Amino acid sequence: MAKQEKTSTRVARTASKTLAKPSASPTVKSVAGSALSQSRTGKATSSKVATRASSVLRDTESGSAARSMAGSVLTQRRDAKTAPSKSSPKPKPSRSAKKAGKKAVKKAVKKEESVAGAALTQHVATRRTADGKPVRVVLTPYRGGSLRRDRVESVVSTVLARHKKK
Amino acid sequence: MKASYAASVFINCPFDRGYRPMLFAAAFAILDCGYQPRCAQEEEDGGDVRVEKIKRMIQDCKFGLHDISETELGDNGLPRFNMPFELGLFLGARHFGDHSQKGKVTLIVDRAQYRYQAFLSDIAGQDIRSHGGNVDTLITVVRNWLSTATKRKTIPGAAVIRQRHADFTVQLPELCAGFQLQPVDLLFNEYTQIAASWLRLRDQAAT
């Protein structure tokens, strides 16, 4: 008997956000699309999308959002077994599986944070001139004062030009 | 804009007017070496607990420049211990911190080579440099420290930095006039902003 489960509101919201994200991979987007289409209808996951969802779960680099969508989609595949009744004992995940899952989520969060942080951080950088000579880069101060940046540049240029003439 | 941990230098020094030329010279040398100077004066938030701000800054900086030259008796007959305290925090972070914190590099400077032994003998054995209250000596000490502590090949020579600092100091009144400011009233943030811009545009003009 095919399952009649639906995607939860939380996962549907995540799926919608993922679809709007230009940086999301096509595999994750296809899983998100499937999850979203199952939020209000009784549609089931195709075997093609189920394979993709499985690959997302196996990939240690996958983020927590992608994992929860993939999990949701897999429970709604056509050949999925019905959920065990409440009376039957629920299989407990092993300690090592729990640990591995937590580690994967932690790694994904750390990666996302470092990507976001990198855009806001000036790194130690050495620029090279056309002839390959390394030159040092003057870093922007952590906090500019009350002075407007364009105004500073203009005043400094004027004073430098004046002194060069002298 | 925040620099990466490995490019940030924490300056722990007195903030009184008499020491200002030294603080600004150190900041200039750090900028010219391609690093970002950080100082407790860059943030003025009355709601922020001072020591928390300092701890945050120490955590963000791989390098620490500590000037303990003003550890002396004040008008009330008591010594000022802020600089040795922050030096202790920095050394503590290096000792007890995680892997990245353990890589912290420290430079301790004082007015005279062995003066610290009278009030901070626990740091004996560390390399304490003396600047003798001279701006050019401080620039040289800071430059040599950064050059030795890193593998960067692009750090200019001490004489070059000293010359650039002298040129900048000559032009500073004119630069300040452009913002209706007096050089003596410049705040740390304003000084570093103007100095960084000056160094960058000077480099561009030279190439």
Instruction: Give residue-wise pLDDT tens across range A82-106.
Output: 545 555 555 667 777 777 777 777 7
3-class DSSP state of A153: helix
Contacting residues of A for B6, CB less than 8 Å apart = 123-124
Cβ within 8 Å, pair A136-B152: yes
Cβ within 8 Å, pair B178-A137: no
What phi, psi does B47 have (nearest 5°)? -85, -10
Q: Give the CA distances from residue A66 to residues A8, A102, B126, in Å, rounded to whole numbers and listed in that order.
A: 14, 14, 52
Give the other-Cβ count within 10 Å of B72's Cβ: 12
Instruction: Give residue-wise pLDDT tens across range A5-58.
Output: 778 888 888 888 888 888 888 888 888 888 888 887 778 888 888 888 888 888
A166 touches chain B (CB under 8 A): no
A160 touches chain B (CB under 8 A): yes
Work out the minimum CA distance from B85 to partner chain A, whole angstroms: 24
Token output for B170: 């000559």
Strands A126-128 and A134-136: antiparallel
Nearest residue of B to residue A138, measured between CA atoms = B34
Q: Write down the ipTM of this complex.
A: 0.80
Cβ within 8 Å, pair A152-B152: no
Q: Say if pTM beats, i.e. exceeds, 0.80.
A: no
Q: Give the CA distances from residue A1 to residues A4, A44, A53, A82, in Å, rounded to whole numbers and listed in that order.
A: 9, 12, 22, 8
* Residue B142 and residue B65 in contact, taking contact as beta carbons nearer than 8 Å: yes
Nearest residue of B to residue A114, measured between CA atoms = B4
Residue to mutate among B197, B200, B204, with most A CBs inside 10 A, is B197
